[in-house]
Structure 1
C-alpha cells in the first residue's frame, strides 16, 4: 500500500489509461472520497454505488450525469430524459419504452446481422484492421440510423458529431458554458418524416400522444423531438462502440477463452457481460445531491456533487472473485453496474447486448485469431466514457509490420521540416481529410487578390465560399475557414503547412474534434 494520500482526478490521462490500481486504493483507503480541487465526492464500493443509483430521490439526475455539467448548473432541454427526474423522467421514459421494448429490440436481430455481415465481410483476407474505424464506428450508427430513419449517407457524420461532444483536452473538463447543445440538423429529418412517414422511430415519435406532467394530452414538441433524436443517436452509438473495442482487446489478451467462443458461440453472451463488468464504457456517473444523504457513516450535504465509480464497483472483490481477471465462466449471481440500476437503468441495454453478441458471432467466424498493437493504439480523451479511438489489430506478422510502417510514416511526415514554401498558393488543390470513417476529398480553389487570399471549397456535391484565409510565404503556414450547411451545419478550420505543392495539417471540425488532412496542388 502506498504511503502517499490517495488522489483521484477524472481528467488525468494517467488515471484514465489504467484506473484499476487507483480504484482498488479508493475502495480500501477512501471508500468515500472528496476531491477539493473540483469539489466532488466519489464512492467506489459496489454496495454504495448500487445504492446511489437506486436512491434517485436524494441523488437526482436533473442536473446531469457528468461532473462538469452538474457543476456548471446546465439547464437541460426538454426531452433529455436521461438527465431528468420524476415525474417528467417517468413521462419521457414511458414514451421511449414503447419503442425500446425487449421484444422489439430482439426482433431487430436479422437486420443487425445483415448490417454486421456487410461490415465484417470486408475484413476477410486482410492482414490487419482497426477495430474502431472498421467496426466500432460503423455498426452501431448503422443500427441506430436504421431505427431513427437517418439517411445512410448522413449516419457517420451524425455519429461523429455526437461522439465528439464527449471529447476533452488533456486534463480539462468539458465546457458547457453555452448549455447542452442539441444539433438542429435533426429538424430536417423530422420535417421530411412529417410528410413522408415510414417504419422508423422518428415517424413513431411524431405520432405519439401522451399526458404530460401537468395533465395535458399532447404530442411531442419540435424541440422535444430534436432532443430525443440527439439523445438516442448519441446513446445508441456510444456504449456499443466502446464495448466492441474493449471486447476485441480483451479477447486478444485471453486467447484461450477466445478459442472457447469460436468452438462454442453459445458462450458469447457471457463474454459480453464479462467485458461490460471488466471494462464498463462509462466508468463513472455523476449525480447532484438534492437532500442530505449518508455514505460510509458520513453525511453528505444537499447541494454537493457525487461521482459513482462504476469501474471501481465492478472490480470490488467483496462481490466479484478475482475481479481483475476476465472469466467467461464467472458466477453471475450479482450483476455488474455497467448499465446502472434503478429507474435510470440504460434503456438501450437490450440493443447493446444484441449488437455485441451478433458482432462477435460473425467476427469470430471470419477472423478467429488476432492480436492488438497497443503501441500504436490511442485511448479516447474524455471525461464521460472510456474507450479506444484507435485500436489496430493484426492477424499475422505481415499485418503487424504494416501497422508499424504506417505509424512510422505518419510520424515522419508530421516531423518533416519545411524546405519549400512557395511564394503563392493560388490555384487548385485536392484536399483529403483522414476522417474516422475513411478519407474524404474536396477541391480547394484559392485566389490572390487585393483583399488577400480568397476562394471556394467543393465537396459532397456542394460548393461554399471560404470565410477567411491567410498564408505566410516565409513559414509556409496556411489557414482557411469554411462553413458548411450540409449534411450538418459546421465551421471547418484548416491549419496546415505548405511544402512545395503539398499541404499537411489538422482540420478542426466544430464539436467533431480534429482530424489530419493533406493537400496536393493540381
Structure 2
C-alpha cells in the first residue's frame, strides 16, 4: 500500500478511499515516493504533532514538493517560523486580524459579493469558479492590504502561478510570481511609510510587541502568505462548497429553509472539502510514534483531509456531508500554534457569500465537468460551469 502523495494527480481524483485505507491499516505510513515521508492520517495523531513544534519543525518548509518540478528555497514566512520567533511574529501581525477588525469588514465583503452575483443571469450556464467566485477573495484581500483597484487582477495572476505552478495552463513560474509580488508589496510599504492609512500595511508598520517592529522583508513575507493562503483557499472553499450543495440538494434545501444554519454549513464545507490538503514538518529528533520510529530529519506529512474524515472523531457518518453537524472540530485550518491566522476572515467571507447566493438562487445544477488545478497542496477549481435558478419566493413573483 503506497501512494505518491507528492503528485498532484493523487488529489485530482477522490483521495477519500486512500485516506480511509491508511487510517485503518497504516495510520503512520512510510511512503518511498519523492525521497520518503511519513503520512499521518488520524485526527488525534495530527493534533499531537501540531502541538509539539519543538519535535516537528516548520522551518524547512510546509508543503510536499511535486516530484515533477524542481524544488525551490524556503521563504521565511510566519508559517515557516518556529518558536519562539513564531509567537512574537504572530502577536505582531495578529493586530490586523482581531475580531473587531474582521467584523468591520463585513459590509464591504457583502458589497463585493453582491456585485459579483449581480452579474449572474438566472437559468444561463456560467463559469462560476473563475467568473463569479474567484474575484471575491482577491478583492477582499486587496482592499485589506490597501491595493488600488486596477491592481486586483495582478493578485490573481500571481497567486495562481504560485499555487498552481505544476499546472500546464499557467505560464508564469513560481519564481517570477514571487519576484513580482515581493516587488509590489515593497513599493506599497514605501508608500505607507510616508503616508499611513487604515489598511493592513499601515497596521503592520505600526505594530509593536515589547518595542519590536517588523522589518520590511517580514511584512512582505506576511503579505505574500496572506495573498496566497487567503485567496486560493477561500476561493476553493466557496466553489467546492457550492458543488457540495449541488450534489446534496437535501442539505441545500435545509439552508434555504433556515439560513441561520449557514455558519454550521460553512464548517461542514471546511471539513468535507479541506481546502489545504496537508502541511509537512521535519522531525528535530528521533520520535517513537505508535509502533514506528520517526527519525531525526525525516518528513512528516499531516494529511488534514484524512483527519477530517476520521470515524473516531466524526462518527459513522464521517464520510457524509451534513450541514447540521455538531460538534464539528475539523482541522481545515490546521492545528497548534500554526493554526490559520485568517480563519475568522475565511469564515466570514464564506458565510456572507452563501447568505447572498441562497437568498437569490435556491436552484443549482452543474453544467459540464469540473476542471481542477494541478496542485498537491490546494487543488483548486479552474473551471466549473453552473446554472442557477431563482429562489422560490422570487420565482413566484
Q: With structure 2 as the length reference, what TM-score do the two structures score?
A: 0.89
Deviation at residue 104 of structure 1 after TM alignment: 1.9
5+ residue gaps, structure 2, are 390-397
Deviation at residue 10 of structure 1 after TM alignment: 3.0
Quote the RMSD (CA, aligned, Å): 2.5
Q: How do 1:351-500 and structure 2 match up within 5 A?
A: 351-375=345-369, 377-395=370-388
For residues 312-346 of structure 1, the C-alpha deviation after alignment (integer angstroms, 9 at most, x for no partner) is 111111211211210012231x5000001111110
Q: Give 2:258's aligned residue.
A: 264
8 Å Cα contact 2:185-2:223 kept in structure 1: yes
Deviation at residue 68 of structure 1 after TM alignment: 2.4
Q: Distance in 2 between matches of 1:130 and 1:57?
A: 46
Mark the CA change 1:203 to 1:364 in structure 2 (over 3 Å): closer, same or farther: same
Q: Distance in 1 between matches of 2:51 and 2:320?
A: 28
Q: Give 1:327's aligned residue.
A: 322
Q: Give 1:31's aligned residue.
A: 27
Aligned with 1:370: secondary structure? strand
Q: Give 2:199's aligned residue.
A: 200
Q: How do 1:296-311 and structure 2 match up within 5 A?
A: 296-311=290-305
Q: Distance in 2 between matches of 1:93 and 1:143?
A: 21
Mark the CA change 1:109 to 1:179 in structure 2 (over 3 Å): closer, same or farther: closer
Q: Distance in 2 between matches of 1:179 and 1:127?
A: 35
Q: Distance in 2 between matches of 1:61 and 1:232?
A: 17
Q: With structure 1 as the length reference, what TM-score do the two structures score?
A: 0.69
Q: Distance in 2 between matches of 1:259 and 1:352?
A: 23
Q: Give 2:395's aligned residue.
A: none
Pick one of 322, 325, 331 that aligns with 1:337.
331
Q: Give 1:94's aligned residue.
A: 91
Mark the CA change 1:22 to 1:104 in structure 2 (over 3 Å): closer, same or farther: same
8 Å Cα contact 2:2-2:31 kept in structure 1: no
Deviation at residue 34 of structure 1 after TM alignment: 1.1
Deviation at residue 14 of structure 1 after TM alignment: 4.7
Q: Give 1:209's aligned residue.
A: 208
Q: Give 1:273's aligned residue.
A: 267
* Larger RCO (CA under 8 A, 6+ residues apart): 2
Q: Distance in 1 between matches of 2:282 and 2:47?
A: 16
5+ residue gaps, structure 1, are 212-216, 397-522
Pick one of 17, 20, 32 that aligns with 2:16.
20
Deviation at residue 222 of structure 1 after TM alignment: 2.3
Q: Distance in 2 between matches of 1:358 and 1:143?
A: 12
Q: Distance in 2 between matches of 1:12 and 1:314?
A: 20
Q: Give 1:133's aligned residue.
A: 130
Q: Give 2:245's aligned residue.
A: 251
Deviation at residue 352 of structure 1 after TM alignment: 0.2
Deviation at residue 218 of structure 1 after TM alignment: 4.3
8 Å Cα contact 1:373-1:394 kept in structure 2: yes
8 Å Cα contact 2:30-2:39 kept in structure 1: yes
Tell me which protein shows more helix as a share of its residues.
Answer: 2
Q: Distance in 2 between matches of 1:178 and 1:142?
A: 22
